[in-house]
C-alpha cells in the first residue's frame, strides 16, 4: 500500500508540474500574442457564444505540449481536442475560460487545466495572466495561489452572502436564469457575475466570494476550479445529493453551501 501511495504521489507531482508549465505557456501566448484586431472565429450555442482564433491557438499549444510530455494520456478540450489515451490519465482543458472577457480586453479570463484519473480530479490549475495569479490544487494536498494557501471564508448568515453566478448564451436559458437571480437577490448581500466559472470557483477558494452557482457548465469549465475550491475547504455539488453537472454547479463553505443548494433547487435553478 505504501508503494502504491508513493507512486500516486509521484504521479500527482508530475501532473502538477506539467499542468503548470502548459498553463504558463498558454497564458503567455494569450497575453502577449493577442491581436489588436481580435475577432470571432466561430460561434457555438448562439451568435453570442463565441470562439476566437486565440482559443484555438491556446488549445493547440496545450495539446501539443501534453502530447510531447505525456503521449499516453487522454485529452478533452473545449474547442474539440479529444483523444482516448492509454495511461488512464485524462487532461480536461479550457484554453480560455472567459472568452468574451478576453475578446473585450477585460481581465477576468483564465487557462484552466485539470488532470483526472479513474474519474477523479487529481490536479487542477487555473492561470489568470492579467490578474497575475495562478491557482493550483492537488487532491489531498490543499490549494494555493502562488505559494499562499487558500481557505474559504467562514459561512456568513445567508442574508450577508456575496454570491457569484454566470449565465448561458441561449436566450431561453438566460430568461430563466434571470428569474432565479430575481428571486435570490433580495435574500443575499449581493450577486456578482464576472464571466469565468473557473475564476469564480477560485474566488470562492480565496474568500473573495462567499459562494457560487451556475447552470449549464461543462466539465472543462469546472474540473480544475472545483478541486481548488474543495481543497480550500468548500463543499461543491449539483442538485442535493448529486455531483456537479450541466444541470447545476454550487460551491460554498459548509453552513452556506447547504441552504444555498436547497434554495436553488426549490427555485428551479437546475432547469430552463
Query: If you write DSSP's letter for every residue of 82-123 in order, what string do you get?
Result: EE--SSSEEEEEEEEETHHHHHHT-S--EEEEEEEETTEEEE
Residue carrying C-alpha cell 478541486: 227
pTM over 0.95: yes
Collapsing DSSP to helix, strand or coil, 178 comes out as: helix
Residue 272 lies in a domain: no
Task: Based on the fold, state whether residues 136 and 246 are members of the same structural domain.
Answer: no
How many domains does the chain divide into? 2
Task: Based on the fold, state whether residues 115 and 236 are members of the same structural domain.
Answer: no
Is 94 labeled as ligand-binding? yes
Whether the per-residue pLDDT at 252 is higher than 80: the answer is yes
Task: Based on the fold, state whether residues 261 and 234 are members of the same structural domain.
Answer: yes
Task: Based on the fold, state whether residues 82 and 182 are members of the same structural domain.
Answer: no
User: Of the residues 107, 125, 149, which one is the last residue of a structural domain?
Assistant: 149
Cα(248)–Cα(239) distance, integer angstroms: 6
- List the CATH number of the domain containing 185: 3.40.190.80
Contact 227, 203 (CB under 8 A): no
Task: Based on the fold, state whether residues 68 and 142 are members of the same structural domain.
Answer: yes
Residue 178's domain comprises 158-267
Is 221 labeled as ligand-binding? yes
Chain segment 171-191, per-residue pLDDT in tens: 999 999 999 999 999 999 999
User: Of the residues 132, 149, 166, which one is the last residue of a structural domain?
Assistant: 149
Chain segment 30-54, per-residue pLDDT in tens: 999 998 888 888 888 887 667 889 9
Residues of the chain with pLDDT > 70: what percent? 99
- List the CATH number of the domain containing 113: 3.30.540.10
Is 272 labeled as ligand-binding? no
Task: Based on the fold, state whether residues 53 and 100 are members of the same structural domain.
Answer: yes
Chain segment 127-179, per-residue pLDDT in tens: 999 999 999 999 999 999 999 999 999 999 999 999 999 999 999 999 999 99
Contact 228, 171 (CB under 8 A): no
Q: How many CB atoms lie within 10 A of CB 169?
A: 16
Strands 74-77 and 89-97: parallel
Q: How many CB atoms lie within 10 A of CB 28?
A: 14
Contacts of 59 (CB under 8 A, 6+ apart): 77, 78, 79, 80, 81, 93, 95
Task: Based on the fold, state whether residues 90 and 12 are members of the same structural domain.
Answer: yes
User: Of the residues 125, 149, 173, which one is the last residue of a structural domain?
Assistant: 149
Is 120 labeled as ligand-binding? no
Task: Based on the fold, state whether residues 109 and 163 are members of the same structural domain.
Answer: no
E strand spans, the chain: 40-43, 50-52, 74-77, 82-83, 89-97, 110-117, 120-128, 133-138, 143-145, 148-149, 162-164, 190-192, 211-214, 235-237, 249-252
Is 258 labeled as ligand-binding? no
Question: pLDDT value at position 49?
Answer: 67
Question: pLDDT value at position 48?
Answer: 64
Residue 77 lies in a domain: yes
Task: Based on the fold, state whether residues 10 and 141 are members of the same structural domain.
Answer: yes
Residue 69 lies in a domain: yes
Contact 145, 192 (CB under 8 A): no
Task: Based on the fold, state whether residues 102 and 210 are members of the same structural domain.
Answer: no
Amino acid at each position: 500500500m505504501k508503494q502504491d501511495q508513493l507512486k500516486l504521489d509521484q504521479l500527482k507531482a508530475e501532473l502538477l508540474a506539467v499542468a503548470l508549465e502548459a498553463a504558463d505557456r498558454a497564458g503567455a501566448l494569450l497575453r502577449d500574442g493577442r491581436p489588436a484586431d481580435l475577432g470571432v472565429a466561430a460561434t457555438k450555442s448562439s451568435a453570442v457564444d463565441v470562439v476566437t482564433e486565440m482559443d484555438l491557438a491556446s488549445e493547440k499549444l496545450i495539446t501539443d505540449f501534453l502530447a510531447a510530455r505525456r503521449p499516453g494520456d487522454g485529452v478533452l478540450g473545449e474547442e474539440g481536442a479529444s483523444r482516448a489515451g492509454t495511461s488512464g490519465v485524462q487532461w480536461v482543458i479550457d484554453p480560455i475560460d472567459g472568452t468574451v472577457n478576453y475578446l473585450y480586453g477585460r481581465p477576468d479570463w483564465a487557462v484552466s487545466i485539470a488532470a483526472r484519473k479513474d474519474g477523479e480530479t487529481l490536479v487542477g490549475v487555473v492561470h489568470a495572466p492579467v490578474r497575475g495569479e495562478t491557482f493550483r490544487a492537488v487532491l489531498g494536498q490543499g490549494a494555493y495561489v502562488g505559494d499562499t494557501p487558500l481557505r474559504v471564508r467562514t459561512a456568513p448568515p445567508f442574508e450577508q452572502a456575496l454570491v457569484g453566478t454566470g449565465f448561458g448564451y441561449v436566450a431561453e436559458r438566460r430568461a430563466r436564469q434571470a428569474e432565479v437571480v430575481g428571486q435570490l437577490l433580495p435574500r443575499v448581500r449581493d450577486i456578482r457575475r464576472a464571466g469565468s466559472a473557473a475564476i469564480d470557483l477560485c474566488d470562492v477558494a480565496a474568500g473573495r466570494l462567499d459562494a457560487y452557482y451556475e447552470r449549464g457548465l461543462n466539465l472543462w469549465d469546472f474540473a480544475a476550479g472545483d478541486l481548488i475550491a474543495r481543497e480550500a475547504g468548500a463543499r461543491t455539488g449539483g442538485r442535493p445529493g448529486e455531483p456537479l453537472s450541466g444541470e447545476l454547479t454550487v460551491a460554498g463553505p459548509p453552513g452556506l453551501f447547504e441552504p444555498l443548494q436547497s434554495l436553488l433547487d426549490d427555485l428551479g435553478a437546475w432547469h430552463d
